[in-house]
Chain A
Amino acid sequence: MPMPGRLRFLAEARHLQIAALSVLFAINFLFIDFGAKPLASALAIATSLATQAACAWWFGLKHLDLRSPLITGLSLSLLLRADEPWLHALAGVLAILSKFVIRHDDKHVFNPAGFAIVALLFLSDHVWISPGQWGTGVWFAALVAFAAILVLRAARRPDIAIFFLTSHAALLIARALWLGDSLAIPLHQLQSGSLLIFAFFMISDPRTSPDARLGRFIFAFAVALAAHWLAFSMQMRPALYIALIALSPFTLLIDHILPARRFAWTVPVERFPMRKALQGFRLSHFLRKTGAHFS
């Protein structure tokens, strides 16, 4: 039975994600010290939208959909910190350009905001991310988890966030057991608000995660493992983001070995019975007909 228009609007994953990120942004802006700055945030959002519009025109897209670049702009405002506002403008441009330029088999390789953050971390000394800023409060964890469940249910890809958090938790607990540390330490590390935002709004991006469920599990575990090594052996603080971006190209390989239904924001789930997807049909030719490109 088709949903009424308003409900369908609310059930669209990107609308829920925009709402969730807006709430987080408002909290960050109003209550978090050393948080988002108005000019930098406005520039990140504006350049994300403008770059999407410019690329839509350049690449001849039939529809200009500003929802995804708004998500990218909000993510950059939330996560990226810089001492010069123009770096946020550059981040918006880099993020959206990466989506249009770094593609394979009609799928962009990197999460746009994640790519821009990591690119700038390597290109400039003047950007950083603040992993401690959200603290380890239970109320915040509950809020993020609640918002994430709504978004990921609507996007029908909740599994990768669960896979990642489970892998990450297992690695942290294994490390604590090896070191002989109290379990209070991994529990504290797992309560990090930044970790939850990464799990629910970054690695779980359905457009850049592997198509097959097994592929998503392998990818999530690999990111957790790489992040663990970067954080504890290399002492890198943005370890999660660097691990995600460094491993994202492997999603192409995983998709090749484990083909499955390609995710598209706008395709109703009914058209793709899960059973068929799991049987390993490559549906990319069909997806092309749906017009769900570049979103």
Chain B
Amino acid sequence: MTRKTASRLKAGVAAGALLALAALAGPAWAFCGFYVAQADAKLFNKSSKVVLARDGQKTAITMANDYQGDVKEFAVVIPVPTFIERKQIGVVDMPTIDHLDAFTAPRLVEYHDDDPCAPRQPMPVAMARSGFSPHLLAYADASGRYRGVTIEATYDVGEYDVSILSARESDGLVNWLTDNGYRIPAGAEAVLGSYIKQNMRFFVAKVNLDRMNLIGAGYLRPLQVRYDTAKFMLPLRLGTVNADGPQDLIIYALTRNGRVEITNYRTVKLPTDVDVPLYVKDEFGKFYKALFERAVARENMRAVFVEYAWDMGWCDPCAAKPMTFRELVELGARWIETDEDVPFGLRGAGGAGAFVTRLHVRYDAAHFPEDLVFMETHDRENFQGRYVLRHPWRGNATCPAADAYRASLQARFRLQAHNLSFLTGWDAKDIATRMEAAGQRAR
């Protein structure tokens, strides 16, 4: 066993012990470490968050947005595969999605070397996560009158006025949407026509200001639609029409059996478990953004990246406290047996499982002409985006082992510098300067 492997193993054992202690202490589950750095909430501009929960053909799609414009102008048009009844629509609290985002985010873990003259026992003491800012899947403005296609139903859903439309011709639909205040970008007609011929209906929603004020949430809550369908897909194409450059989409897929992958594009793991220089701690968000951009470039923007794939029952290390049954049910995982407000991770043996796959895609019409099509696999192998800081021992050490330890640090620093440069494309000289300033001088 190499020293690195041994050290990781020990770190794992130590982390496990800490988590076990935390579990024994009940509510102290909240202790999974604390954040040492948090990436800017606006890390990825023009990004959306979608939670997809799927069990057999039962599908729930929850769309989060932090729409920054005037809420009067908020409007969303989503192709859906079936007619939607009122009971199939709901709103979800944003903190629930934020929790899932934090729980599955790429993480920075930190270890401190022990005195080289004493037995080695590294322990994880802290972690950080990156955060992402969502926008809308597709939106348009309001202005106008009604004309046209079949309105199959209209519903009041929280702060939203929702209509379910079906259409025979795309121009009729475009007229209706335009006349009802949905500003449809040029070029969308062909895409709408394609969905119409595929027997899709349209879920359209606008904000009802009176009800929004009455509810007083202060923000637009994520909309959720639930339906039974063989189509396990996510319509991207409307969002790429006339889009101003590439957009980011983060998909959190909750499934019963295992990892979700894309069937019509490559699904690729992000680089993970890499040692990076200590100064990354202060700019983890910037680091992760550069890493992601470089990974996208390496794949010629033709892949979807896995950031996290893990059994929802546990985490190691946890980037946030575990999700509760209630939260998972709220996000559409209705196959789990209860909606109690207790951590899902504390469920007993047996019971229905839940697996989460976090996929991150940067897309535009040129590289992603087709909608994303998904498939659930039975692969339950865990994966997480994890980047490691290792603090050298700074105390006194005079034994013979200390000389060898200090000598080994040079190779470690060089490796960390190389890793950082490879992952982010940052200039090697700048990295060396920053490392030196942080006390990691590689000669």
Contact = CB atoms under 8 A, between A and B. Distances in A.
Interface of A: 33-34, 81-83, 125-128, 130-137, 178-182, 184-185, 187-189, 192, 234-235, 237
B369 A130 contact: no
Contacts of A188: 264, 369-370
A188 B367 CA distance: 9
Interface residues on B, range: 35 or more
Contact of B264 (A132, A179, A235): A132
B266 interface: yes
A195 B90 CA distance: 40
A128 B380 CA distance: 13
B31 interface: no
A106 B302 CA distance: 46
Nearest to A32: B266
A192 B264 contact: yes
Interface string B355-397: 0000000000110011001010111100000000000000000
B419 interface: no
Contacts of B303: 135
A33 B369 contact: no
B267 A133 contact: yes
A189 B264 contact: yes
Interface string B237-263: 000000000000000000001110111
Contact of B258 (A83, A134, A180): A83
A237 B374 CA distance: 9
B194 interface: yes
Nearest to B269: A33
A108 B369 CA distance: 41
Contacts of A181: 190, 194
A137 B268 CA distance: 14
Contacts of B120: none
B24 interface: no
Nearest to A83: B378
A234 to B, nearest CB: 7
Nearest to A234: B230
A182 B369 contact: yes
B193 interface: yes
Contacts, number: 86
B185 to A, nearest CB: 15
B376 to A, nearest CB: 8
A178 B197 CA distance: 8
Contact of B193 (A133, A134, A179, A237): A179
Nearest to A37: B381
Q: Is the interface of A mostly helix, strand, loop or mixed?
A: loop
Given A184-B366, A188-B370, A237-B375, 17 more contacts: A33-B268, A34-B259, A34-B379, A82-B378, A83-B258, A130-B375, A133-B266, A135-B265, A135-B302, A136-B265, A137-B300, A179-B198, A182-B190, A185-B369, A188-B369, A237-B263, A237-B373
Looking at B193, B264, B366, the one whose CB has the most chain A CB atoms below 10 A away is: B264
Contact of A34 (B261, B302, B366, B370): B261
B193 A132 contact: no
11 contacts: A33-B266, A33-B269, A125-B378, A128-B378, A137-B302, A179-B197, A179-B198, A180-B170, A180-B190, A180-B197, A234-B230
Looking at A34, A130, A188, A192, the one whose CB has the most chain B CB atoms below 10 A away is: A34
B266 A134 contact: yes
Contact of A83 (B262, B268, B366, B380): B380
Given A83-B379, A132-B266, A188-B369, A179 B194 contact: yes
A128 B266 CA distance: 16
Contacts of A82: 378
B35 interface: no
A59 B232 CA distance: 46
B59 to A, nearest CB: 12
A132 B377 contact: no
Nearest to B367: A188
B145 interface: no
Contact of A132 (B262, B379, B380): B262
A31 to B, nearest CB: 10
